[in-house]
Amino acid sequence: MSASAVTKSPRRRRPLREGVFRVSLYACLGVGVVFLAVLLAYIVVTGWDRLDSRLWQNFPSIQIPETAGAQSAIMGTIWVLGFTALYCVPTGVMAAIYLEEYADRNRWYNRLIELNIQNLAAVPSIVYGILGLGILARGLGFGFTVLTAALTLSLLVLPVVIISGREAIRAVPDSIRQGSYALGATKWQTIWRQVLPQAIPGMATGSILALSRAIGEAAPLLLLGGLAFVTFNPAGVFSPFTVLPIQIFNWISRPQEEFRILASAAIVVLLVLLLAMNSVAIWLRNRYQKRW
């Protein structure tokens, strides 16, 4: 090929093609960003009048939208999410450790477990709601409580926690394990002192992202008696509860305009919680970037 063929011929075509490609990339990106921005702006504008302390100081009310608040839903969300984290993070991390460090991949049951976890991550959340209703609420008699909700949501996000935990463990290079073993460390010591400390940021990031999926779930909780009208905060794991998504759902289905405004305000609160969690996840990821 002559030099002119290299330098000239593509130069004639490139600007147009590349330009078109670029523009379409921006367009695709734009659809997502603009849509999100419009949605956020719409919600903030709509809910602006009710974005004040009434929202978290007052309890819901049927008759008087002016004084109605979402305190019980906010507290319910915090309770349910807290216990979800308490159940699913240790379980998920342990399962991830087993699968990565102990499981013999040649055994059929380990392969089956792996396959199942992949599939469970794709099961619609309402199915978990039915499971929670049938087994936890009715079968085990936990009733429509924070406990049932938290356990159900734990099952829902557990596959994601396990999968991200495994990725975090796998990201720890084998040379680190070998270095540890070569010094006479046991498997236990190697996992606890070398592998886990380095996998924790990744696991935390994955867990937070999994929990931020749980925070927005309404479908399974609707089945679990996330009663819309709860005028008290949860007092324990056996308390009835409501959560923000359900409260929002309920308000939106009311005819009065005031309740719609209230719903928008509650959505803003939910989004702020979500963004806060995701920022922590991003911060963790950047803070502990892989260093090897």
| Least distance in angstroms from the C-beta of 217 to other proteins | 37
Calpha distance 59→66 (Å, rounded): 11
| Least distance in angstroms from the C-beta of 145 to other proteins | 44
Do 71 and 58 contact (CB within 8 A), yes or no? yes
| Least distance in angstroms from the C-beta of 175 to other proteins | 4
Angstrom CA distances, 187 to 97, 152, 184, 285, stand at: 12, 33, 10, 27
Do 75 and 234 contact (CB within 8 A), yes or no? yes
Minimum CB distance to other proteins smaller for 119 or for 178: 178
| Least distance in angstroms from the C-beta of 200 to other proteins | 12
Calpha distance 45→43 (Å, rounded): 5
> Burial of 270 by CB count in 10 Å (0-12 exposed, 13-18 middle, 19+ buried)?
buried
Structure tokens at 258: 């005031």
| Least distance in angstroms from the C-beta of 207 to other proteins | 21
| Least distance in angstroms from the C-beta of 180 to other proteins | 7
Angstrom CA distances, 102 to 58, 97, 110, 201, stand at: 51, 7, 10, 21
Would you say the C-alpha torsion 67, 73, 74, 79 has a positive or negative sign?
positive
Q: Which residues bind other proteins (CB under 8 A)?
A: 104, 173, 175-176, 178-186, 189, 193-194, 198, 291-292
Minimum CB distance to other proteins smaller for 40 or for 171: 171
Would you call 280 helix, strand, or coil by DSSP? helix
Minimum CB distance to other proteins smaller for 64 or for 188: 188
Structure tokens at 107: 């055994």
Minimum CB distance to other proteins smaller for 178 or for 253: 178
> Burial of 121 by CB count in 10 Å (0-12 exposed, 13-18 middle, 19+ buried)?
middle
Minimum CB distance to other proteins smaller for 8 or for 193: 193
Angstrom CA distances, 273 to 59, 78, 213, 278, 280, stand at: 19, 10, 12, 9, 11
Minimum CB distance to other proteins smaller for 194 or for 233: 194
Minimum CB distance to other proteins smaller for 177 or for 254: 177
| Least distance in angstroms from the C-beta of 92 to other proteins | 24
